[in-house]
């Protein structure tokens, strides 16, 4: 059993102290070029360090996108390890966006990679894909409970193609995405101030009033900025659940680098817009 507080408790404290903004660490090749960095491991390291140093005291959560590190092989993964360690050492929660999902016995290995406290890539939370069946995620749910980590399950993703799978209606008349939300509400039952098992629900999706988003857990909302959603969309999309939303912005902030004060100003502007939208 873990001695740290559950992820949901730590996330709520971070959201209350700093606001809910989650900034992605997504070292796209185009961003490395725009920052005057090489599309190489040194560029990756400089990019990630700059983001963490500039924003660690300002955001609730960093969300490194594993794909951009993995494309450099073992040396990229070493940079990812250092990025996670630096961000956590600076007191910022880390949500690893690796979207893992597989049969249960393999899922157990993914869980060990990201959710076992002594693992090199241990993160406060991990994105997971439930499309091998929600039950296949059980090893990750169990290890997250033991280690005080969190999970974010892909429920209604921000991309236009997602509805093909997530809005498909099952034999019981419920959509696949709604079923994932219902599983998460069960995981989080009774947790206070909120549970550690979140859903990914895109800020781009418009009216979601036909879905029950009140899962007593966090709702990671990607899609603000480069994908076209704005902070003002959040109340319309999330309704009464808006207080549990963790809005993610990646390129919308990162495009302002490499100058640290420009990164800080961009993140602060998004944070202000989000605060106003959620309060309003
Ligand atoms: O439904 C989803 C799930 C994850 N993402 C990830 O979030 C960021 C978004 O980046 P932007 O630059 O702000 O568009 C990226 O890492 C995606 O892989 C998502 O967009 N939608």
**Predicted confidence band at 280 (pLDDT cuts at 50, 70, 90)?**
confident
CB 16 within 8 A of CB 161: no
Q: Ligand 1 centre from 171 Cα, in Å?
A: 30
pLDDT in tens, 128-149: 999 999 999 999 999 999 999 9
pLDDT at residue number 99? 98
Atom of ligand 1 nearest to the CA of 26: 16
Question: Which position among 18, 34, 75, 99 bears the catalytic label?
Answer: 99
Q: What is the ipTM of this complex?
A: 0.99
Rounded to 5 degrees, φ, ψ at 238 are -100, -10
Does any ligand 1 atom lie closer than 6 A to the CB of residue 101?
no
Q: Is 97 in the pocket of ligand 1 (CB under 6 A)?
A: yes
138 by Cβ neighbours in 10 Å (0-12 / 13-18 / 19+) ranks as middle
* Any atom of ligand 1 within 6 Å of the Cβ of 188: no
In this structure, the strands spanning 245-249 and 197-201 are unpaired
Check pocket membership of 202 for ligand 1, CB cut-off 6 A. yes
* Residue 55: other Cβ atoms inside 10 A: 23
pLDDT at 1: 61
What's the mean pLDDT in 260-270? Answer: 98
For each of the domains in the chain, give its residue range(s) and CATH number, in order of start: 7-279 (3.20.20.70)
Q: Which of 21, 24, 164 to mutate to test the pocket of ligand 1 (most atoms within 8 A of CB)?
A: 24
pLDDT digits (tens, 9 = 90+) for 208-264: 999 999 999 999 999 999 999 999 999 999 999 999 999 999 999 999 999 999 999
37 backbone dihedrals φ, ψ, rounded to 5°: -105, 160
* Ligand 1 pocket test, candidate residues 21, 26, 70, 201, most atoms within 8 A of CB: 26
User: Ligand 1 center to residue 30 CA distance, Å?
Assistant: 16
Indicate if ligand 1 lies below 6 Å from the C-beta of 65.
yes
**Residue pLDDT, tens place only, 137-194:** 999 999 999 999 999 999 999 999 999 999 999 999 999 999 999 999 999 999 999 9
63 part of the active site = no
Threshold 0.80, pTM exceeds: yes
Confidence of residue 207 (pLDDT cuts 50, 70, 90): very high
Closest CA to 68 of 197, 209, 201, 250: 250
Rounded to the nearest angstrom, the distance between the alpha carbon of 67 and the centre of ligand 1 is 11
- Length in residues, the chain: 280
* Distance from residue 222's CA to the centre of ligand 1 (Å): 5
DSSP one-letter code for 65: B
Torsion of CA 64, 65, 69, 74, to 10 degrees: 80
Residues 6+ apart with CB under 8 A from 164: none
Nearest CA to ligand 1 atom 20: 222
Residue 3 pLDDT = 80
Predicted confidence band of residue 201 (pLDDT cuts 50, 70, 90) = very high
- List phi, psi (to 5°) of 208: -115, 25
CB contact at 8 A, 157 and 166: yes
Separation of CA 24 and ligand 1 centre (Å): 8
pLDDT tens column, 92-102:
999 999 999 99
Q: In this predicted structure, what is the pLDDT of residue 219? A: 98
Taking CB atoms within 8 Å and a gap of at least 24, the contacts of 68-72 are: 68/25, 68/26, 68/27, 68/28, 68/44, 69/27, 69/44, 72/40, 72/41, 72/44
Report the alpha-carbon distance of residue 166 to residue 143 in Å, rounded.
Answer: 26
């Amino acid at each position: 059993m873990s001695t740290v507080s559950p992820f949901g408790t730590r996330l709520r404290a971070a959201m209350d102290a700093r606001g809910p903004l989650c900034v992605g660490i997504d070292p796209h090749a185009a961003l490395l070029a725009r920052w005057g960095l090489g599309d190489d491991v040194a560029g990756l390291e400089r990019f990630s360090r700059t983001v963490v140093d500039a924003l660690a005291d300002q955001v609730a959560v960093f969300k490194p996108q594993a794909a951009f590190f993995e494309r450099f092989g073992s040396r990229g993964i070493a940079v990812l390890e250092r990025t996670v360690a630096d961000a956590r050492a600076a007191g910022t929660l880390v949500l690893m966006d690796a979207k893992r999902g597989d049969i249960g016995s393999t899922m157990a290995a993914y869980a060990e990679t990201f959710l076992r406290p002594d693992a090199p890539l241990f993160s406060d939370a991990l994105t997971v894909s439930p499309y091998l069946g929600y039950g296949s995620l059980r090893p990750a749910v169990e290890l997250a409970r033991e280690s005080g980590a969190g999970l974010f399950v892909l429920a209604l993703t921000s991309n236009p193609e997602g509805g093909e799978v997530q809005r498909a209606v099952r034999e019981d008349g419920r959509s696949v995405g709604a079923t994932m939300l219902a599983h998460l509400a069960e995981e989080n039952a009774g947790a206070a101030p909120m549970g550690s098992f979140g859903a990914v629900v895109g800020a781009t999706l418009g009216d979601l009033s036909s879905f029950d988003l009140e899962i007593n857990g966090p709702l990671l909302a990607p899609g603000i900025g480069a994908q076209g959603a704005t902070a003002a969309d959040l109340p319309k999309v999330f309704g009464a659940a808006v207080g549990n939303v963790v809005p993610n912005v990646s390129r919308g902030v990162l495009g302002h680098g490499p100058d640290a004060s420009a990164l800080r100003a961009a993140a602060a502007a998004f944070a202000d817009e989000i605060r106003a939208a959620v309060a309003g």
